[in-house]
Structures are given as C-alpha cells and as structure tokens.
Amino acid sequence: MTAIEVTVTPIDDNQVDGNQTVVEALTGLSSNQRYTISGTAVTDTITETLATAWITADENAVKFGPGGLTSGYFTIHRSYSSGTIAVAYGPPTGSAVQGTNYSSPLGGTQTVTFTPGVTAIEVTVTPIDDNQADGNQTVIEALTGLSSNQRYTISGPAATDTIQEIRPRPGSRPTRTPSSSGRAG
C-alpha cells in the first residue's frame, strides 16, 4: 500500500461561523521508525453554505362574499432540506388590517422552523367579513433577518395576497323564476 486516504466529515454545529480549515500533518511514531517524512502539512477547507429563503403568495386570491370565505396563504421556502433552521417573517403590511379584515398567525415578527426534509411551510390568511364595502385589500409579507446567527440568506421580494371583496351590487335583486300556482283567477 502506498497511500491511505483520510476522510474529514463536517458536522453542522448550528452556528454561522464561516469557512473553517482542517490542517493535517504527518509525524514520526517513534525514534525507531523505518521511514522519513517529507512534505508539509495539508489544509482542507470546510465551506459553510447557507440556505436561501424566499416567500411567495398563492395564485388564488383570498375571497369573501356571497359564496363564502376562501382562505389564501403565503409559502415560505428554503433551498435545501437538511438541518433545522428558523426563518423570520413580518410584521405584515398592506391595506388590510389584521383582526378586522383577516385572521392569521402573521402579526409582529414571527418565525417558522424548518425541520430536516421540509422545504416549504404555508402560513394561512383567512378573510373576515367586516360588513363594510371597502373593496379589495392587500396583505404584504416579507422575510426578515432573524439575528446575527442567521443561517439563511433572503432572496426575492415581499409577497402580496389580495383579499377580494365580492358583494352584490347595490339595488340588485335575486332573479325570481315564475311559477304557476294552479289557482283560477
């Protein structure tokens, strides 16, 4: 045998500590060794790659009206599925008011935690009919930096859900279907 390969396996320490190096060097085992050591130490670099996180809004708008309520959602994504990371989002902005126009766990700065194997988490937006004809309103959500130990980079813009208000026009009436009562007149 003329060579032996030494494997260096990195361990995720859940810290953002940048790239790190491992230095390996040969040393003599005893004064009675039967070989000479030539060359210098070898350096391996462990490259830390952060996940990329982004947010999207569903394609179907949040709705309420005669047909009832239709909830919508924001989806928070991450670029790879290994490890556990917490991603921060909020507070929401837009023309809709939380608690008046919609209910959601959105309020203030919140976090979602990705466990190993998970790459997307949905946050539901449920409309509330405030019995006001205030038209369509928006809920805008963006990802935020969690801390100096943030284990992801943010990609992309904020996402917008539109709460569509569908109400009958004033003065419109339901269409009646004529029926015969069978009475003689």
Q: What is the pLDDT along the chain (185 residues), one digit of tens a residue?
A: 777 788 888 776 666 667 888 888 877 666 776 677 777 788 888 877 778 899 999 866 677 666 677 888 899 999 988 778 888 888 888 999 888 888 877 667 788 888 989 999 999 888 888 888 888 899 999 998 765 556 788 888 999 988 888 766 665 554 444 544 444 44
CATH class in words for 51-165? mainly beta
3-state secondary structure string across the chain: CCCCCCCCCCCCCCCCCCCEEEEECCCCCCCCCCCCCCCCCEEEEECCCCEEEEEEECCCCEEECCCCCECEEEEEEECCCCCCEEEEECCCECCCCECCCEECCCCCCEEEEECCCCCEEEEEEEECCCCCCCCCEEEEECEECCCCCCCEEECCCCEEEEEEECCCCCCCCCCCCCCCCCCCC
Indicate the pTM of the whole model.
0.68
